[in-house]
């Protein structure tokens, strides 16, 4: 028995990894920020919980880490809606992970948020993923590359059209990363930091040396630059496919389109006779597509929703749970949970917050509308 106890003690971490399926890396999801560009949707909840293809943006992030074998994850909370985040994710068990909550408080910068995770990280390497950034295909490939490398840090870069809006990488003549600049007026490349970073614990020493920028924040680009200047051992990889910062309504709708483009057709609800399902459409449990309705994919309909006869749901539309679409046409839009829509024309390119109603006006025939509507709104048109 003493021998077995000794074996267990010496291999406790190994046994944990075998039972949980966890890798050597820990995960950190940053869930702070006020989301001012997404108001009024962010007046009543954090931007990372806005659904894209019927999942909160940060759930896509969490599932990406889990698929990479990372199950020990910290979610860094800001100074708004922290209880809403904890209520949704709980201890992580229903998502197949273990969640630790870390409180940053005031938004003092990404590097400051990472620094708050020092006790959680301990002596392990870790990956930091912004909770409102999405990457095609997830991070599994990059996690494996970092684990098998000797890098002190590694960044993911993606070519963008407007590099002056991001942290930008600069290279020498041999293609080596030499400098990172936050929102440069005259960028020397069109490769931006994509919001996913890989570090070893020595990175915390760089954060300790930082001073606030002109924005009053500890900048992640400055901390990585210190690491680069100190060791020269910072790797980079280029994102294969797309990367989206979902900080604006336009980017959320584009992310919704990109994810729905990879949707698989699955009908878990009821499609009545003479209802038309065209292309790749997901219909959740308890939902009903009534006689005479048309749903043209790619489109996703959540659970316990009703699409009445005569309704047209067009491509690139996500309809949440407990939604009733009584009349009208909807295309390239996100309708969140518990909404009611009853109109005589088309809604397009819209974000409709949960518990909202868009109803017809009996004295006016509409021509077509575009909306960004916050939670519990009521619009009569």
Q: Calculate helix-pair angle for 249-260, 57-67, nearest 10 degrees.
A: 50
Going by C-beta distance under 8 Å and a sequence separation of 6 or more, which residues neighbour residue 115? Answer: 204, 207, 208, 218
Reported as a pLDDT band with limits 50, 70 and 90, residue 344 is: confident
Give the whole-angstrom CA distance, residue 102 versus residue 121. Answer: 11
Are the CB atoms for 206 and 144 separated by under 8 Å?
no
Are 31 and 119 in the same domain? yes
- Shared-domain flag, residues 167 and 276: no
Of the given ranges (11-20, 32-41, 100-109), which has the lowest mean pLDDT? 11-20
Count of structural domains within the chain: 2
Asked if 321 and 372 sit in the same domain, the reply is yes
Please tell me whether residues 63 and 110 are part of one structural domain.
yes
Q: Are 250 and 299 in a shared domain?
A: no
Measured at the alpha carbon of residue 139, what is the angle toward residues 135 and 141, in degrees to the nearest 5? 125
pLDDT of residue 22: 40
Q: For position 358, which CATH number holds?
A: 2.160.10.10
CA distances from 267 to 20, 31, 60, 124 (A): 32, 33, 21, 42
Q: Which domain holds residue 189?
A: 2-260
Before 356, cis peptide (omega within 30)?
no
Answer whether residue 251 shows pLDDT above 80: yes
**Taking all residues of the chain, what is their mean pLDDT, rounded to a whole number?**
86
User: Which pLDDT belongs to residue 18?
Assistant: 38
Q: What percent of the chain has pLDDT over 90?
A: 55
Residue 362 confidence (pLDDT): 62
Q: Say yes or no: 295 and 360 in one domain.
A: yes
Q: What is the DSSP code string of 321-365?
A: TT-EEEEEEEES-EE-TT-EEEEEEEEES-EE-TT-EEE--TT--
* Domain end marker among 236, 260, 284: 260
- Closest Cα to residue 72, out of 42, 34, 98? 98
Closest CA to 354 of 72, 41, 14: 41
CA 206 vs CA 3, 21, 122, 176, 359: distances in Å: 43, 31, 16, 21, 55
Residue 133 sits in a domain whose CATH number is 3.90.550.10
Final residue of a structural domain among 260, 290, 317: 260
CB distance 51 to 336 below 8 Å? yes
pLDDT at 200 over 80: yes
SS3 198: strand
Boundary residue ending a domain (260, 276, 301): 260
């Amino acid at each position: 028995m003493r021998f077995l106890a000794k074996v267990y003690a010496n291999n406790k971490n190994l046994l944990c990894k075998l039972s949980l399926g966890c890798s050597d890396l820990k995960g950190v999801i940053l869930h702070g920020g006020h989301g001012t560009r997404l108001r009024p949707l962010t007046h009543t909840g954090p931007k990372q919980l806005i659904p894209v293809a019927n999942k909160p943006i940060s759930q896509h992030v969490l599932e990406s880490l889990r698929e990479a074998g990372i199950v020990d994850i910290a979610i860094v909370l800001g100074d708004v809606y922290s209880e809403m985040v904890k209520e949704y994710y709980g201890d992580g068990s229903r998502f197949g992970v273990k969640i630790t909550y870390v409180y940053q408080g005031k938004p003092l910068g990404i590097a400051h948020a990472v620094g708050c995770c020092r006790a959680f990280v301990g002596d392990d390497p870790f990956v930091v993923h912004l909770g409102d950034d999405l990457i095609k295909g997830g991070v599994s490939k990059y996690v494996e590359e970092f684990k098998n490398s000797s890098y002190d840090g590694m960044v993911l870069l993606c070519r963008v059209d407007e590099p002056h809006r991001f942290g930008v990488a600069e290279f020498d003549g041999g293609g080596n990363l030499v400098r990172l600049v936050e929102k440069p007026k005259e960028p020397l490349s069109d490769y931006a930091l994509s919001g996913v970073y890989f570090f070893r614990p020595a990175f915390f020493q760089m954060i300790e040396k930082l001073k606030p920028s002109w924005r009053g924040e500890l900048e992640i680009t400055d901390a990585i630059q210190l690491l680069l200047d100190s060791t020269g051992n910072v790797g980079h990889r280029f994102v294969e496919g797309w990367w989206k910062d979902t900080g604006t309504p336009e980017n959320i709708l584009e992310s919704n389109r990109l994810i729905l483009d990879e949707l698989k057709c699955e009908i878990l609800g009821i499609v009545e006779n003479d209802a038309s399902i065209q292309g790749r459409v997901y219909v959740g449990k308890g939902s009903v597509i009534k006689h005479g309705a048309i749903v043209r994919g790619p489109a996703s309909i959540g659970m316990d929703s009703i699409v009445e006869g005569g309704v047209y749901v067009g491509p690139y539309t996500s309809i949440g749970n407990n939604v009733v679409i009584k009349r009208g046409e909807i295309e390239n839009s996100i309708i969140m949970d518990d909404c009611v829509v009853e109109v005589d024309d088309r809604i397009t390119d819209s974000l409709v917050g949960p518990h909202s109603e868009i109803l017809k006006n009996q004295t006016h025939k509409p021509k077509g509308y575009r909306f960004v509507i916050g939670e519990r709104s009521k619009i009569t048109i």
